[in-house]
Structure 1
Amino acid sequence: MIGSDAIESVLGSRPEGQNADLGPYVRAAVRAGLAVVPVSPTDKMPLDMRTAVQKRADDADAQEAAKGRGVVAYQKARSKSGVHVATTDTDRAVKYFARAEKQHGVVNFGIEVGRSGLVVVDADNAADREKFEAEYLERTGHAISATVLSPGKFDEATNEWVHRDGGHYYFTVPAGMDRPDSGSVSRDGWTAYWVNRLVLAPPSKRAEGPYRWQGAVRPLPEFLRADIEAWGQVRAERLARERVAGPIDDWSAATPWDALLEPDGWTATGHTDSCGCPTWTAPGPHDNPKSAVAHEDGCTHEAYFSPNLHLWTDNPPDGLADYVRQFRTQTLSKIQYEAWTKFAGRIGDACASWGIAQLPPEHAAEDFAIGDAPAPAESTWKRIDLGAIARGNNEAQQPTIFPRSDGRFLLYPGLTHSFHGESESGKSLVLQWVCVLEMGSGHHVLYLDYESDPVSVTRRLVDMGATVEQIETYFDYRLPEAAPDSTPGDRAAFLGLLTPGKYSLAVIDGVTASIGTFGASSQSNDDVNLWTRKLPRALATRTGAAVAMVDHVTKDKDSRGRYAIGAQAKMADITGAAYMVEPDRDAPVGKGTVGKIRLRIGKDRPSEVRRHCTDYRAGDHSHLVGDVIVDSTGDTLSLSLVSGAGKQVDASVATARRPKLMESISRSIESAMDDGETEWSAAAVERRVTGQGARIRANVKALVTEGYLANDPINNRLTFVRPYREADDMEVRSALPAGDPYADDAQAAK
């Protein structure tokens, strides 16, 4: 362990802001055990002041190390720059700073925390400092103040402070502690760094002000040590999970991003992203130095597979710009980086250039297909014979999953569905119940969980009555953290799902989060289209399962309509039905209560569910499906889907309602359908029916309200939903509770 007293005596020895002629100061700092590097006074970038001879020698060492790791084209390896140039060699350090001062005038003083034996906690502003100091006091019983106060960052373009009055807290690493070789730990407002991280230290000075020494370098507290070691364990487990044998994977594991980026003119910023992986600046001018984050093996960032390069710049180099345009993602692997920057996307040529012996099967078919969903066995461009359909040798697709109390079903096998609603509206609860129903029938279900955890989901299934044997046998639970084409291991696991008839139901719990794992945006129609083809539609078409997706809605109830949050393509791409999940505010779901969750249908492409629904709501073009009754008063959680609360007819419609006229209107429209018509204006309906115009219009409104007709709010045209018959209406009204919306179904069942 380095001496904290030695560090304090050096860093506190100069008046704040006096950063000229740093030679003696640098010498003392290195002797105190610090790894130091000169830093540009304008942009916090470390300055590489090695001579050409030193760079060649360092490159030779890097090549020898690459050769030892088994890299075939080890001659291409280069030494690391950026924060890695920081040195604990006294003579080198003094010369680096002397050259930097000669070239740049005044420079700043940087410390690389890892080789300095430090852990540094960074808080950006006064509020974040208070948060860390409060946690430190709670966890250790001792008060703490910042070791160094930082000046903050002022954005001249907006004339506003990005952050200010922050601070750094220095801690010495105890002897025998093995720190992970990358990463960081973040809490509410502060982040702890321990390796490959640059911090500016006194007497550095920026335009916003100087870095001010406050004193006190402390031993690392036990709670931070535990957090760091826990992070290292998570990283090690993920690294082991991702490691898959194969020539590209072996090459990728043995070839660091530095060896690919630096020869192409990229510059390490000396800073890391929230996951602890380094950020890089692309060649050419950039307003923001963070052009990309280079994620290495075992990175714990949930949204990206690793190792990968995630682009942040809107102006990537030409080859990468082509990749982004073609695949609509800003995340790519190492071999994809080489292929698109040097070989116009040809993976085979990139492999050959690095001496990768054999192109794996998943890359062999066609280079540009990398990243796409697994291709069907036959081409989708093959001509489809429509003769059998034209001759009527086909039946309308019927829903067979998720039963309602009257024997109707909500989900279509082989098609995709959406269940969207506000947070905590019961979306996941409803679909987990459907999983229990399917398991109880001896059917296998797939559950892709992007928003919860195994413990919570399992407890919910058990509460609903699922047995341990059913869960072990029929419930296939996955917790994806990356797209299914991210690594060979991910690809193999995903292909294993796509077995015809394997599942009756597949649930994707968390659409927005799932799209994010593809490096895509839920606001982009193009991204949503691509994600739909790769995941939900691939599952539906290849397995034959009914795919049900859990999604959220916008906060604005008035503008959301029948749509989930994000791109319109979410609704357009659904091949089955879209359901709106609405909690009943008068009967909320909770422990020890009987609650109610209302389901409405906003889209039904096969049209076999909506025609058995009622209570048309013109504002969002939806119909009432029914209510999920959630009874948690017993030992188990009991659910049932029952028909809705009834026809909600306003007073003006109720008083004008004439069953004979309603049947006449219905029959006239059915006759028009036989003539090939599909939609009608109100005037066209009036011309077909005998009676007073006002009375006809009132009863058309009744048919719309009760779900027999639908009115398109855009073109104000009427379309047929289901037939109305006066006899059925009257007979059911006398036999069933007043207002029951499924009169025609009850009559048909007699």
Structure 2
Amino acid sequence: MLEGSVAYDEGAVVGRLVTLGAEPDCIAELFHYVRPIEPMGTALHRDDLDRLITRTTPTLAILDGITEAMTLHGLNPLDNTDTAKFGRMLPRRIAKTGAAVANLDHVTKDRDGRSRYALGAVHKLNGLDGAAYVLENRTPFGIGIGIKGRSTIKIAKDRPGQLRKHGLPSSGAMHWYGDLILDSQSERLATAWIEAPTEQPAQFRPTRVMAKISAALDKHGELSMRRIQAAVGGKSANNRLAIDCLILDGYVSERSPHEAVEAVLQGGPVSKPDSRDSPVTPRDSRVAPGTRDPVTPLIRGSRVAPRIGHQKPSRPRLPLRSVR
């Protein structure tokens, strides 16, 4: 069955909207909360949903918890076929009415392996015909009054091609779109806004750490994030920033198990900086254009893990691509 509307305040949703400044009268008129407790596989349940959409004509539909919703309907979130089936069952069904549909999902706990994909099947991203964002938490939300929470918003997919031009290149084949900030000013008031991305001044580039990481990769070959941390030491935040700079500068490459397994041309390791932080310069030797290496995924446990490492040139070969 389908439950409720505004009166059903599941998880204090309405209370949070009021805290963010929404007027109670507007919430009562425009906000509708639906929580299925049984699969929507019968005509009765689908008719309930269709009647609600016809009556309310929503402009935005938020599906909170794709993995949980798929499980409720007996579908496997790890299976691409089931993911495509669920997409036709609910998100695309609602989108055909003219409403914008936002699917909320979780990422894996492993930072090294998540890349730009949600938890489960790759079709969760590949099947989208719009945009996809990844939120990376920097300061937790809701940990206390007077504390600002912050999450970085990255563009994982931009099917219309109109979003990336407003962001800045970032790691993992994504673009930095901005930062979501939530300021908890009191128990009854919180404000939220998005800050645009800003270019980092050159003097803040961690060139010493970049040189250490480059030397470690040159010595040991391809390494996971965890092993880079063990080899270099220091603060993990500084190491991640240094790796991002190396990736953006084209000195190292980062691949995930969902991206095409394709060799990438890269330069040599970063030269050792002097006592002051200075711009990074590549080796004098360059890779001849058109040379590529086949890439063998690094296996850790029973799954493919992402790698960061230099690509060394060899004789020209055709690029290798993974078969989906």
Question: TM-score, normalization: structure 2?
Answer: 0.58
CA spacing shift, 1:646–1:482, aligned 2, 3 Å: farther
Which residue of structure 2 aligns with residue 502 of structure 1? 57
Which residue of structure 1 aligns with residue 10 of structure 2? 454
Q: 2:106 aligns with which of 552, 572, 577?
A: 552
Q: 2:36 aligns with which of 475, 480, 503?
A: 480
Deviation at 1:716, TM superposition (A): 5.6
- The CA distance in 1 between the partners of 2:200 and 2:130, in whole Å, is 25
Q: Which amino acid aligns with 2:133?
A: Y
Instruction: Please say if residues 180 and 192 of structure 2, whose CA atoms lie closer than 8 Å, have aligned partners that are also in contact.
Output: yes
Deviation at 1:630, TM superposition (A): 0.7
Matches within 5 A, 1:38-77: none
CA spacing shift, 1:545–1:716, aligned 2, 3 Å: farther
Which residue of structure 2 aligns with residue 580 of structure 1? 134
- The CA distance in 2 between the partners of 1:554 and 1:648, in whole Å, is 32
- The CA distance in 2 between the partners of 1:545 and 1:495, in whole Å, is 13
- The CA distance in 1 between the partners of 2:164 and 2:37, in whole Å, is 36
Q: 1:470 aligns with which of 5, 17, 26?
A: 26
Matches within 5 A, 1:198-237: none
Which residue of structure 2 aligns with residue 571 of structure 1? 125
1:589-625 deviation digits (Å, cap 9, x = unpaired) = 43311221211111111111112111421xx211111
Q: 1:638 aligns with which of 180, 191, 205?
A: 191
CA spacing shift, 1:557–1:612, aligned 2, 3 Å: same
- The CA distance in 2 between the partners of 1:537 and 1:560, in whole Å, is 25
- Highest relative contact order (Cα 8 Å, sep 6+), 1 or 2? 2
Which residue of structure 2 aligns with residue 705 of structure 1? 248
Deviation at 1:712, TM superposition (A): 9.3
Note if 1:626 corresponds to 2:168. no
Which residue of structure 2 aligns with residue 530 of structure 1? 85
Deviation at 1:454, TM superposition (A): 1.9
- The CA distance in 2 between the partners of 1:643 and 1:563, in whole Å, is 23
Deviation at 1:644, TM superposition (A): 2.5
Q: 1:469 is paired with a residue of what secondary structure?
A: helix
Matches within 5 A, 1:83-482: 454-482=10-38
- The CA distance in 2 between the partners of 1:621 and 1:559, in whole Å, is 13
CA spacing shift, 1:500–1:544, aligned 2, 3 Å: farther
Q: Which amino acid aligns with 1:535?
A: L
1:473-511 deviation digits (Å, cap 9, x = unpaired) = 10111011223333x431221222454992221100010
Q: Which amino acid aligns with 2:193?
A: S
Which residue of structure 2 aligns with residue 363 of structure 1? none
Instruction: Please say if residues 39 and 73 of structure 2, whose CA atoms lie closer than 8 Å, have aligned partners that are also in contact.
Output: yes
Q: Which amino acid aligns with 2:183?
A: D
- The CA distance in 2 between the partners of 1:472 and 1:491, in whole Å, is 24
Q: 1:603 is paired with a residue of what secondary structure?
A: strand
Q: 2:46 is paired with a residue of what secondary structure?
A: helix
TM-align CA RMSD: 3.3
Q: Which amino acid aligns with 1:570?
A: K
- The CA distance in 2 between the partners of 1:614 and 1:576, in whole Å, is 19
Note if 1:591 corresponds to 2:134. no
Instruction: Please say if residues 141 and 182 of structure 2, whose CA atoms lie closer than 8 Å, have aligned partners that are also in contact.
Output: no
Q: 1:539 aligns with which of 94, 97, 101?
A: 94
Deviation at 1:583, TM superposition (A): 1.4
Alignment gaps of 5+ in structure 1: 1-237, 243-446, 653-700, 719-750
- The CA distance in 1 between the partners of 2:137 and 2:254, in whole Å, is 26
Q: 2:28 is paired with a residue of what secondary structure?
A: helix
Q: Number of residues paired by the alignment?
A: 215
Q: Which amino acid aligns with 2:156?
A: G
CA spacing shift, 1:502–1:461, aligned 2, 3 Å: same
- The CA distance in 1 between the partners of 2:100 and 2:29, in whole Å, is 19
Instruction: Please say if residues 576 and 606 of structure 1, whose CA atoms lie closer than 8 Å, have aligned partners that are also in contact.
Output: yes
Note if 1:562 corresponds to 2:105. no
Instruction: Please say if residues 484 and 494 of structure 1, whose CA atoms lie closer than 8 Å, have aligned partners that are also in contact.
Output: no
CA spacing shift, 1:639–1:569, aligned 2, 3 Å: same
Q: Which amino acid aligns with 1:489?
A: L
Instruction: Please say if residues 501 and 543 of structure 1, whose CA atoms lie closer than 8 Å, have aligned partners that are also in contact.
Output: no
- The CA distance in 2 between the partners of 1:648 and 1:604, in whole Å, is 27
Q: Which amino acid aligns with 1:622?
A: M
CA spacing shift, 1:607–1:648, aligned 2, 3 Å: farther
- Runs of 4+ that moved beyond 3 A: 497-501, 645-652, 711-718
1:43-63 deviation digits (Å, cap 9, x = unpaired) = xxxxxxxxxxxxxxxxxxxxx
Note if 1:606 corresponds to 2:149. no
Deviation at 1:456, TM superposition (A): 1.4
Which residue of structure 2 aligns with residue 493 of structure 1? 48
Instruction: Percent identity, please.
Output: 32
Q: Which amino acid aligns with 2:132?
A: A
CA spacing shift, 1:465–1:527, aligned 2, 3 Å: same
- The CA distance in 1 between the partners of 2:9 and 2:200, in whole Å, is 40
Q: Which amino acid aligns with 1:523?
A: L
- The CA distance in 1 between the partners of 2:36 and 2:117, in whole Å, is 25
1:190-223 deviation digits (Å, cap 9, x = unpaired) = xxxxxxxxxxxxxxxxxxxxxxxxxxxxxxxxxx
Question: TM-score, normalization: structure 1?
Answer: 0.26
Q: Which amino acid aligns with 1:457?
A: V
CA spacing shift, 1:581–1:615, aligned 2, 3 Å: same
Which residue of structure 2 aligns with residue 379 of structure 1? none
1:655-690 deviation digits (Å, cap 9, x = unpaired) = xxxxxxxxxxxxxxxxxxxxxxxxxxxxxxxxxxxx
- The CA distance in 2 between the partners of 1:636 and 1:584, in whole Å, is 22
1:494-541 deviation digits (Å, cap 9, x = unpaired) = 22245499222110001011111221110111100000011111111x
- The CA distance in 2 between the partners of 1:471 and 1:612, in whole Å, is 31
1:80-131 deviation digits (Å, cap 9, x = unpaired) = xxxxxxxxxxxxxxxxxxxxxxxxxxxxxxxxxxxxxxxxxxxxxxxxxxxx
Instruction: Please say if residues 615 and 647 of structure 1, whose CA atoms lie closer than 8 Å, have aligned partners that are also in contact.
Output: no
Alignment gaps of 5+ in structure 2: 208-243, 266-324
- The CA distance in 2 between the partners of 1:594 and 1:457, in whole Å, is 20
Which residue of structure 1 aligns with residue 72 of structure 2? 517
Q: 2:32 is paired with a residue of what secondary structure?
A: strand
Q: 1:601 is paired with a residue of what secondary structure?
A: strand
